[in-house]
Amino acid sequence: MPKGFIITKWTEDKGLVVQIKYPESISVDLDDMMRIFYAHITGAGEAGNVFVRLEKARSNVSSHFTGMESDNPYMINLMLELGEYPEIYGEKILEEINQDIINYLSQIDQNPENAPDLVRDLVKYLKDSLFLLERLENLSKEQKLAQIYSGEKTRTILDILQERARSKRELQGVLEQKLGRLISNLDIVLDPFVKTDMIRQDWVEGSSDILLFLKSDFAIMRIPPEKIVELAKENKPDPKIAEKYLETARNFFKDYEPNEEDNLKIASIMINPDIYDYIVLFREKPYPLKKIPKGPGESFETISALMRRLEENGIITVLEDKTGMKWVFLLTDVIAEQFYPEYLIEKIRQDFVEGILKKDIAIKHLDILENAYSK
Partner 1 sequence: MVSYNFIREGIDFSPLVIGLTIGLVGLVIGIGAYQLYFKYPPTVRKIRKLRKKIRKNKGSKTITLNSYNEKINNIYQHKTESLKTPQSESEIFQKDSIKK
**Least Cβ distance, residue 312 to partner 1 (angstroms):** 22
Nearer to partner 1, 68 or 219 (CB): 219
Nearer to partner 1, 304 or 350 (CB): 350
Q: What are phi and psi of 339, to 5 degrees?
A: -150, 165
Q: Are 3 and 26 in contact (CB under 8 A)?
A: yes
**Least Cβ distance, residue 247 to partner 1 (angstroms):** 11
Nearer to partner 1, 9 or 222 (CB): 222
Task: For the chain, report the end-to-end CA distance as a whole number of angstroms.
Answer: 34
**Least Cβ distance, residue 140 to partner 1 (angstroms):** 19
**Least Cβ distance, residue 173 to partner 1 (angstroms):** 23
Nearer to partner 1, 13 or 257 (CB): 257
Q: What are phi and psi of 285, to 5 degrees?
A: -170, 160
Contacting residues toward partner 1, per CB under 8 A: 162, 217, 219, 221, 223-224, 226, 229-230, 246, 249-250, 253-255, 257-260, 335, 337, 339-343, 345-346, 348-350, 352-353, 359, 362-363, 366-367, 369-370, 373-374
Q: What are phi and psi of 332, to 5 degrees?
A: -130, 125
173: left (phi over 0), alpha (psi -120 to 50) or beta: alpha
Q: How many residues does the chain have?
A: 375
Instruction: Report how many helices (DSSP H) and strands (DSSP E) the chain contains, helices first.
Output: 15, 13
Q: Are 81 and 26 in contact (CB under 8 A)?
A: no
Nearer to partner 1, 155 or 309 (CB): 155
List of residues 6+ apart from 107 with CB closer than 8 A = 114, 118
Nearer to partner 1, 98 or 216 (CB): 216
Q: Are 86 and 65 in contact (CB under 8 A)?
A: no
Instruction: Determine how β-strand 326-330 pairs with β-strand 316-320.
Output: antiparallel
**Least Cβ distance, residue 113 to partner 1 (angstroms):** 52
**Least Cβ distance, residue 230 to partner 1 (angstroms):** 7
Nearer to partner 1, 197 or 260 (CB): 260
Coil, helix or strand at residue 8: strand
Chain mean position to CA 98? 14
Which residues lie across from 65 on neighbouring strands? 48, 75
**Least Cβ distance, residue 272 to partner 1 (angstroms):** 23
List of residues 6+ apart from 208 with CB closer than 8 A = 167
Question: How far lies 122's CA from each of 70, 98, 108, 115, 146, in Å?
Answer: 20, 12, 9, 10, 28
Nearer to partner 1, 187 or 247 (CB): 247
Q: Are 314 and 268 in contact (CB under 8 A)?
A: no
**Least Cβ distance, residue 277 to partner 1 (angstroms):** 22
**Least Cβ distance, residue 34 to partner 1 (angstroms):** 46
Nearer to partner 1, 130 or 344 (CB): 344
